[in-house]
Amino acid sequence: MFVSVLIAFVLYTLLGKISVSLLLLVNFFSLLVIYFALKKGEIYGACLGTICGLLQDSFSLSVFGVAGIAKTIIGFFAGYISGKINVTSVRRSFVFVFVLLCMELLIWAFLYSFIFSERVNTGGGLIFFQPLITAAVGSLAYRFLLKQNRSKM
């Protein structure tokens, strides 16, 4: 897990160096939280969501903790819901991750606008594509990881 968080941190840093717009399109921290919540359960997902959310908040210049709260909630729900339904197919994992990321974006935007009493900076609307692109990347990565695990056995 520690290596995965470090990789997400490096990817987030590299994307920020390449283009700030890329940070609005792919959220590696959220993918990491959802993946480990699927594998380890809701408590693990919530704890990792707190850690990854605070790491993501450390990159921003806004209120510290907004992404932490959103990712904690998403990590818990990802682990809880995945224990009730099967999300291993590509279509189901895409829809599952997409819905969770939309929920995370709504929670984050609500908390941000509540604390600052101003509009959320959407980066020219790019942030609205984040759930779609991150879900596509995540479901393909999840499928790749499942194939790798099957080939090792």
Region 80-88: mean pLDDT is: 88
Which pLDDT score is estimated for 89?
81
Which pLDDT score is estimated for 77?
95
Which pLDDT score is estimated for 138?
87
Place of tokens 């959320």: 120
Which pLDDT score is estimated for 61?
64
> What pLDDT, in 10s, does the model give residues 7-21?
888 888 888 888 888
pLDDT band at 153 (very low <50, low <70, confident <90, very high): low
What CA–CA distance (Å, rounded) separates 66 from 84? 28
Which pLDDT score is estimated for 95?
93
Place of tokens 């729900």: 77
Average pLDDT, the chain: 87
For 95, the domain range is 2-17+25-152
pLDDT band at 114 (very low <50, low <70, confident <90, very high): confident
Q: Which two tokens stand for residue 138?
A: 């995540």
Which pLDDT score is estimated for 124?
83
**Burial per residue of 37-61, b for 16 or more beta-carbon CB atoms within 10 angstroms, e otherwise:** bbeebbebbbbbbbbbbbbbbeeee
Q: What is the pTM of this model?
A: 0.86
What CA–CA distance (Å, rounded) separates 151 from 153? 5
Region 128-136: mean pLDDT is: 92
* Higher pLDDT, residue 64 or 105: 105
pLDDT band at 76 (very low <50, low <70, confident <90, very high): very high
Region 11-39: mean pLDDT is: 88
The answer to whether residues 78 and 41 touch, using CB atoms and an 8 Å cutoff, is no
The answer to whether residues 42 and 76 touch, using CB atoms and an 8 Å cutoff, is yes
Domain count for the chain, please give it. Answer: 1
